Structures are given as C-alpha cells and as structure tokens.
Amino acid sequence: MALLEVDDLSVTFARRGQRTVHAVDGVSFSVDAGEVVGLVGESGCGKSVTSLAIMGLLPKQPGLRVGGKAVFDGTDLLQLDDRSRRDIRGRDVAMIFQDPLSSLNPVIPIGLQVTEVLTRHRGMKGEAARKEAAALLDRVGIPDPRRRLKEYPHQLSGGMRQRALIAMAVACRPRLLIADEPTTALDVTIQAQILELLKELVRDSGTALVMITHDLGVVAGMCDTINVLYAGRVVETARRRPLFRQPRHPYTVGLLGSVPRLDAGRGERLNPIPGSVRDVLTWPDGCAFAPRCTRRVDECVGEPPELVLTHDGRSYRCVNPAPVPGTPPPQATTTASTGAADDAAASTGAADGATAGPVPAPREEEKP
C-alpha cells in the first residue's frame, strides 16, 4: 500500500464565456514511504497545480473543480473538510515552495514562523518551542540559530531562507514532503546545498518526498521514480535509470535531448523540442503532444493514447514510442487504438511512421 496514491486527479478552471481549462487532466501516480518521486515537465504542464490540489491549497475561486482521489495513508485528502485538512497539513504532509523570499512572511521574525507550526501541531509553547525551533534551524544548517530566530526574512540570504522554510516543513517530522521547485530561485551553488540537505533529511527521517521540477539534473540526482507530465497528464512513468537510459515517450526523449551537455562537440547545437506548450491538442482529441512530436503517426490524432504498461513496471502514453535500443523493431500490425492490453513493443509501429521524423536520440545512448 503506497503512502500517497493519486488517482485520476483532475483540476479544471471554468470561466464564464471562456473555454474550460483542464490544468490537470487525470493524473495518477503513487509515492511509497521513504521514496523520492519526481514530477517533471515544462512550465504550465500542471505539476504545481497537482501539488497544490493534493494539499488543498488551490486559491478558492468560482469555477474551480477538483476531481479524482488523493489517498494519503487511507484517507482521501480531497474529501476532507477544512478542519481535518488543516490538521494534516504541516503535520503529516508538508510543503516547500519555490521562492523563499516571498514564501516567508516579511513582518514576522523567523522564530515565530517556525514555532507557530510547533505550537499548532505539537502543542509546544514558550521556551520549549524556541529551543526546538533553534534545534530545527541547526539541523537544516543555519549557523547561530538562536540569533537567527529573532531575525526577519529580509535579513537572511536566499539559501538561508530556503533552509528556514525547510525547517518549518520538517518541524513535525511529516511522512510526506512536497517540494515545488525548491531550488529554482537560488544560485547554482546554493541549489546543490539545498538538494543535498533535502536528500539528507529524507534519508535520515524516512520521509517520502515528491520533487516537482523542470530540471532534469535535479531529478537525476535525487529521484527513485519519475513521472513526466505533459499538458496535465502523466505521459511516462519509470524508475530513474531506465528513464534516462531508454526514454520511451517522445516528449521524454525531447526533454533529455534538450539538456545542454559539456561533453557535446563545439559545433553541436541544442535540440529544443519544437513548438511550445501552448501548441496542444486537447486530450480527448488525441495526444496533446502530437503537434510538437517528431514521431507523430496518424493514430496520434482522433482519440487519446492509452496508458501502456510494460513488463518492467514502466508505463507511457504513446502509440509510437521510441524504440528500446538493442531490440529489433517488431512487425507493427496493431495500432494503439486497441488499448493498453497490447504488448508495448507491438505498438511501436515504426514501420508505418510516414509522418514521423527522426528521433532526437538521447545522448546517453550514444555511448552505451
């Protein structure tokens, strides 16, 4: 039984006179205790909205609808009333945000921002709470914690602020931590430190971590399992090594191919994915990635591609996935429209890919 089981989560924003926006459109993934799971994708693919929906933190507005399930340890977080949700937030499930400066209250000392969690969930007050807060700051690597408790966010450096936010998040030893692009707003050197700190905390406490990022470098260094999101759906799920070695979904292939590499030749150009996230098909009309896809075939359009499960526990949502190197392309006789029951290899359909361009081969495969 997974610690967190997100099943068919959907978030739609309806506005009068405008088309309903499906920000998250049937996302499913699971997180085991102590596991580090990555949610990866470009800006606008729905990864942040997914995390906010799980936390119940989406801004309340008319027209917002959240569907599906997010079962944490047996309770569906989406069905909870406001009070029980507040009881779980910060205690069992905690979150770290992107921009540490704007995520901290500018007019309250750091100390109170840490102790208020302790008071709320662990009933600690006064000196006991202050002592624990100092210990927490110390644990996340903030020197001279006693003095820092009295300081305000603007008196701390960017890295310190993110450390303080992490201290607040881990204050009640949550079983699940969601980190939404925790290093995006930081310098590269600080990024590495913060990732190292997160890794350490996860290892020491057995906390499960959901890492939301667009940065494949972060994913490569941390995650056990990776979910690649595109236009509000998970398009590929795999363990870290198989995903980097043999990405199957053309979008994953494109993401990996667009990472700049130092060992690439001088003349080599970057391989960005053509088009932009805005060029999407809506999922009911076919694969949302099809307009940008280099492996597009006729079957991509018409109905959404089914999720294909492979024998090694991976899954992807594509009718014409990138071939696994070393295996001969099978005779394509079936199309993906027959569904997920098909063997994955059978639906590669490389032979009839009249419109499919060459695959931008991920460089990992160039030197096996």
Partner 1 sequence: MFRFIVRRLLQLIPTLFGLSLLLFIWLRRLPGGPETAILGERGTPEMRAAIRRNLGLDEPILIQYGRFVRRLIKLDLGTSTSTKRPVVTEFFERFPGTVELTVMAMIIAIGIGIPLGYLAARRRGRLFDHLSVGGSLIGICIPVFFLAYVLKAIFSENLGWFPSSGRQDPTLGATRITNFFVLDGLLTREWDAAADALWHLVLPGLALASIPLAIIVRITRASVLEVLNEDFVRTAEAKGLTESTVRRRHVLRNAMLPVVTSIGLLTGGLLSGAVLTETVFAFSGIGAFVAEAISQRDYPVLMGFILIIAVVYVLVNLLVDLSYSVIDPRVRVR
Residue 137 Cα distances to 108, 130, 171, 175, angstroms? 16, 11, 10, 19
Query: For partner 1, which residue of 22, 89, 139, 314 counts as binding (CB under 8 A)?
Result: 89
DSSP string, 309-358: EPTTS-EE--SSPPPPTTSPPPP----GGG-TTS-GGGG---TT-SS---
The reply on whether position 158 binds partner 1 by CB under 8 A is no
Structure tokens at 126: 């006064």
Nearest approach in angstroms of CB 290 to partner 1 is 35
109 is a site residue for partner 1 (CB under 8 A): yes
**Please, what is the minimum distance in Å from the beta carbon of residue 120 to partner 1?**
6
From candidates 121, 161, 314, 317, binder to partner 1 by CB under 8 A: 121
* Beta carbon nearer to partner 1, 20 or 105: 105
78 near partner 1 (CB under 8 A): no
Check residue 18 for interaction with partner 1 (CB under 8 A): no
| Cα–Cα dist 281/43, whole Å | 17
Strand order in the sheet with 75-76: 21-31, 4-13, 64-72, 75-76
Q: Write the interaction track for partner 1 spanning residues 212-231; mark x where CB under 8 A is met and - where it is not.
A: --------------------
Cβ at position 67, least distance to partner 1 in Å: 21
97 sits near partner 1 (criterion: CB under 8 A) = yes
**Interacting residue with partner 1 among 15, 147, 154, 203 (CB under 8 A):** 154
Beta pairing, strands 4-13 & 64-72 = antiparallel
Please, which residues bridge with residue 212 across strands? 39, 180
- Does residue 126 bind partner 1 (CB under 8 A)? no
User: Of 106 and 326, which CB lies nearer to partner 1 in the complex structure?
Assistant: 106
At residue 69, the 3 state secondary structure works out as strand
Nearer to partner 1, 177 or 202 (CB): 177
- Residue 293 and residue 299: Cα distance in Å, rounded? 13
Stretch that binds partner 1, among 20-28, 32-40, 69-77, 93-101 (CB under 8 A): 93-101
In the DSSP assignment, the letter for residue 280 is: -
Task: Tell the smallest beta-carbon distance from residue 79 to partner 1 (Å).
Answer: 17
37 in contact with partner 1 (CB under 8 A): no
Say how many CA atoms lie within 13 Å of 14 toward its Cβ.
7
Burial bucket for residue 363 (CB in 10 Å: 0-12, 13-18, 19+)? middle
With CB under 8 A as the contact rule, the residue among 117, 160, 229, 293 that binds partner 1 is: 117
Beta carbon of residue 107, minimum distance to partner 1 (angstroms, whole number): 5
Which string of x and - marks every residue 47-66 that binds partner 1 (by CB under 8 A)?
--------x-x-x--x----
Per-residue DSSP letters for 178-236?
EEESTTTTS-HHHHHHHHHHHHHHHHHH--EEEEEES-HHHHHHH-SEEEEEETTEEEE
Instruction: Quote the least distance from Cβ 330 to partner 1, whole Å.
Output: 48
Among positive and negative, which fits the CA dihedral 334, 339, 341, 343? positive
Residue 142 and residue 164 in contact, taking contact as beta carbons nearer than 8 Å = yes
Residues in 160-179 that interact with partner 1 by CB under 8 A? 165, 168-169
Nearer to partner 1, 114 or 228 (CB): 114
Residue 88 as a binder of partner 1 (CB under 8 A): the answer is yes
Nearer to partner 1, 47 or 317 (CB): 47
CB of 222 to partner 1, least distance (A): 21
Rounded to whole angstroms, the Cα distance separating 254 from 230 reads 12
For 264, the token pair is: 């690439």
Q: Which one, 91 or 245, has the nearer CB to partner 1?
A: 91
Q: Which residues bind partner 1 (CB under 8 A)?
A: 55, 57, 59, 62, 82, 85-91, 94-95, 97, 99, 102-109, 112, 116-117, 120-121, 152, 154, 165, 168-169
